[in-house]
Amino acid sequence: MTVNLLDFDGESLTAWFAEQGEKPFRAKQVLRWIHRSGVADFDAMTDIAKSLREKLKATVVSDKLSDDGTRKFLIDVGNGNAVETVFIPEDDRGTLCISTQAGCALDCAFCSTGKQGFNRNLTVAEIIGQLWQANHALGAVHGDERVISNVVLMGMGEPLANFDNSVAALKLMLDDNAYGLSRRRVTVSTSGLVPVMDRLGDECPVALAVSLHAPNDKLRDQIVPINQKYPLKELMAACQRYLDKAPRDFITFEYIMLDGINDSDAHARELLALVKHVHCKFNLIPFNPFPGSPFRRSSAERVRRFAEILMQAGIVTTTRKTRGDDIDAACGQLAGQVKDKTRRTAGRVIPLVEARS
């Protein structure tokens, strides 16, 4: 039986070595070779038994560089599927946006990934392999240099819908024998799978971002359909529970700015009432268009006014810079290559219940 060592976190790799009759310290050695040193040639693992030197599966089929320094990797995950990983350099950090599924089943109205439908969950190796590949490509695999300082599970797919594999990958990111990232610098983004948010808080509390995008159930039911199962009252309660275990003392609410849909002064005031019991910050995201979308981006002035209302109420509010849109790497644009198993109708137009007041 051939195994892919990227599929193991520290605990499971130790157990696997025990099954092979090997000492537990072998697990730490292998983790360091793979994740700290970025070794692709397993024959180079001179202190590891040859039988354990398995070849990595992930293959980069495209590597695009934006004018603003953003870099997008298209990674082959087999059977006609490819997922996208994006590196975003900043002056004070380097953030890698990682995918957890080939496609997405949640079908948020404004997201290009969701319009492709859903094929399957990614394995642990395919999730952590994106970090391994990016480290290798960026030349950050030796010494103390840390080009990638932050990781966000915010690419293709809903991380909490692939819970076990996402958490195993998260534990590798946090493991000092692998990547040694701080819990404060690793973020999971979710559209609001309430029971699984609780599991994440119990098993692997990292920073949490919630894709909110609407201030009331009527609108959110349409643009974020999972809201029909887990409405805003339940979601806010889950956010409060998560804060008891989170490494940061706030939840980040992501809010995409859709012209005439969710961007009025009245919507901003509704948001203030909605989150009044949740310690939070807002990240306003200018909408990034894609073919067939019925939406338009809110004007810069409208975004500024919306942010001003939130900030006047004492809520930290930032507006995300649009990065990598020239290579379709901006938020909501990741599409990859997905063989849809859901037979979703492409380009479906969502009837919208509200217009700007």
Return all residues near 90 (Cβ < 8 A) that are at least 6 apart: none
Q: Please give the helix or strand (H or E) that residue 194 lies within, else none.
A: helix 194-203
User: For the chain, where are the E strands, in sequence order?
Assistant: 59-65, 71-76, 82-89, 94-98, 101-103, 118-121, 150-153, 186-190, 207-211, 251-257, 280-286, 316-319
What CA–CA distances, in Å, run from 13 to 19, 37, 56, 177, 301?
10, 17, 16, 12, 52
Burial, 325: exposed, middle or buried (Cβ in 10 Å; 0-12, 13-18, 19+)?
middle
- Cα–Cα distance, 309 to 311 (Å, whole number): 6
Q: Is 239 a catalytic residue?
A: no
Read off the amino acid at residue 20.
Answer: Q
Single out the catalytic residue among 204, 280, 331, 354.
Answer: 331
The question of whether 203 is a catalytic residue gets the answer no
Q: Which of 22, 84, 126, 354 is catalytic?
A: 84
Residues serving a catalytic function are 84, 331
